[in-house]
Each structure stands twice: as C-alpha cells, then as structure tokens.
A and B are shown apart, each in its own frame.
Chain A
Amino acid sequence: NAGVTQTPKFRILKIGQSMTLQCAQDMNHNYMYWYRQDPGMGLKLIYYSVGAGITDKGEVPNGYNVSRSTTEDFPLRLELAAPSQTSVYFCASSYSLQQVATDTQYFGPGTRLTVL
C-alpha cells in the first residue's frame, strides 16, 4: 500500500495563477481532509469530505475549492493564488463507521507551496 500520496512536493506560483494539488489514498478510507500548516502554527483544516460526492468547509476554506468524485482522490484547487496561501499543505484520510470522524488520520508527505 502506498498510503496517502501527494503531488507535487514543491511548487512556486505567481500571484493570480491557479493550480491543483493532488491527493490520493489506496486504503479505501471514506474520510479525507486538506490542511495547511504555516510556520510555527498548528494545522488548520481547509476542507474535508466524508465520502465520494460530499465535501464541506473547514476552518479556513476561502481561496480554495475541492471535489471528491471517487473514494481515492481528493484534489485541492487554488484559483487565484495569493501570497497568503504560501504554506505547506497536507492531505489526510481516515476510516470511520460512525457519523463523525473519531479515528486515526493518515497523512501524506505534504506539498510546499510558495506564492510570489
């Protein structure tokens, strides 16, 4: 099992450009998440999904969009990149039979994004 994979590992964008951060998991997890980690800060949840076709906003969704067309993939879209979106982005997944996610999350290695 590859676990949670993310591409690319690094990216530099110019202000106003757009890009998609890819995330895939091969563990058949129903829950998937996108976080950002700013220097010296904890993780902030951007968006999450409880299953294919269902997504919801987290704590800091502005400037981002997501989709979940399959169980395996959960891409994060930046439409108009801004310097404030310079961060490290982590995708995670988990499996839960319950209505809410209380189980261990498995993280990808991260994407380091710089917006200049």
Chain B
Amino acid sequence: GNSVTQMEGPVTLSEEAFLTINCTYTATGYPSLFWYVQYPGEGLQLLLKATKADDKGSNKGFEATYRKETTSFHLEKGSVQVSDSAVYFCALSSYTGNQFYFGTGTSLTVIP
C-alpha cells in the first residue's frame, strides 16, 4: 500500500540554523511527492513538490529531492527564520488511486 513516514517532532531550532526534516515513503506505481506547510490556525499550503525521480522541488529557500533509490523526500533549508515556525507535512499521491497520503506532520519552532 501507500504510506508516508516522517520524522517526529517537535523540532526547535535557533534562527539561521540548518533544517532537515526526514520523510520516507512506500508506494505502488510512480508517486508524486509534496511538502505542505500549515501555519497556526490556517489550512495547509503547498510548499514544494516533485513529480519524478531525481527532481528537486524548491520554494522560499526550502528544497527536497525525490530519491527513488532510498524512497525519500527529505526537506532542507540552509538558514531558518522565525517566520518558518509551522507544521510541515510530507505527502504523496499515487497513480494507483485518487488519493493523497499524508505524514503525521513535524512541528518546527524557530527561536530568535
């Protein structure tokens, strides 16, 4: 079946620190992979996506590379800001169905 496993939080970092949030997946077929971000009191917003192996998604200084050999899509940012404090969700959609599968979310707090 399809599933997403993501690094458990919460994660607390100082401003300008390096961020990695791990995400691995299990899927049949050829999934598309996504990172969504949820700010307090809001719905999820797409942060970045990758639709095939070796693609790199990037947005707002965040990056993630679709690694088929390790079934991973880790999120990275070189220098986090206080405004990056949010919950981050890894997700996949598969060609085998009309459904998205979300990880449990990782809460990030960045302190000045």
> Whose C-beta in chain A lies nearest to the C-beta of B8?
A40
Residues of A within 8 A of B99 (CB): 45, 48, 58-59, 101
- Tell me the count of chain B residues lying within 8 A, CB to CB, of chain A: 25
Q: Is the CB of A100 within 8 A of B96?
A: yes
What band does the interface of chain A fall in when counting residues whose beta carbon is under 8 Å from B?
20 to 34
Q: Is the CB of A109 within 8 A of B42?
A: yes
User: Does A84 have its Cβ within 8 Å of any Cβ on chain B?
Assistant: no
Max chain A C-beta neighbours (<10 A), residue from B34, B89, B98, B105: B98
Q: Is the CB of A100 within 8 A of B100?
A: no
A74 to chain B, nearest CB (A): 14
> Whose C-beta in chain A lies nearest to the C-beta of B95?
A100
Residues of B within 8 A of A40 (CB): 104-105
B68 to chain A, nearest CB (A): 16
User: Does A104 have its Cβ within 8 Å of any Cβ on chain B?
Assistant: yes
Contact among A56, A58, A102 with B51 in the assembled complex (CB-CB below 8 Å)? A102
User: Does B32 have its Cβ within 8 Å of any Cβ on chain A?
Assistant: yes
Q: Is the CB of B93 within 8 A of A101?
A: yes
Q: Is the CB of A105 within 8 A of B32?
A: no
User: Does B44 have its Cβ within 8 Å of any Cβ on chain A?
Assistant: yes
User: Does B17 have its Cβ within 8 Å of any Cβ on chain A?
Assistant: no
Known A102-B95, A104-B49, A107-B45; judge A33-B100 contact (CB<8 A). yes
Other A-B pairs beyond A102-B93, A105-B44, A110-B42, 11, CB < 8 Å: A31-B98, A40-B104, A42-B89, A42-B103, A42-B105, A43-B89, A48-B98, A56-B98, A59-B99, A101-B93, A106-B46
Chain B interfacial positions (CB closer than 8 Å to A): 4, 32, 34, 36, 41-46, 49, 51, 89, 93-100, 102-105
- Please list the 8 inter-chain residue pairs (A to B) with the smallest Cβ-Cβ separation, ordered nearest first: A107-B43, A42-B102, A42-B104, A43-B102, A107-B44, A102-B32, A102-B93, A101-B98
A–B pairs, 15, beta carbons within 8 Å = A42-B105, A43-B89, A43-B102, A48-B99, A56-B98, A59-B99, A100-B94, A100-B98, A101-B98, A101-B100, A102-B51, A104-B46, A105-B44, A107-B36, A107-B44
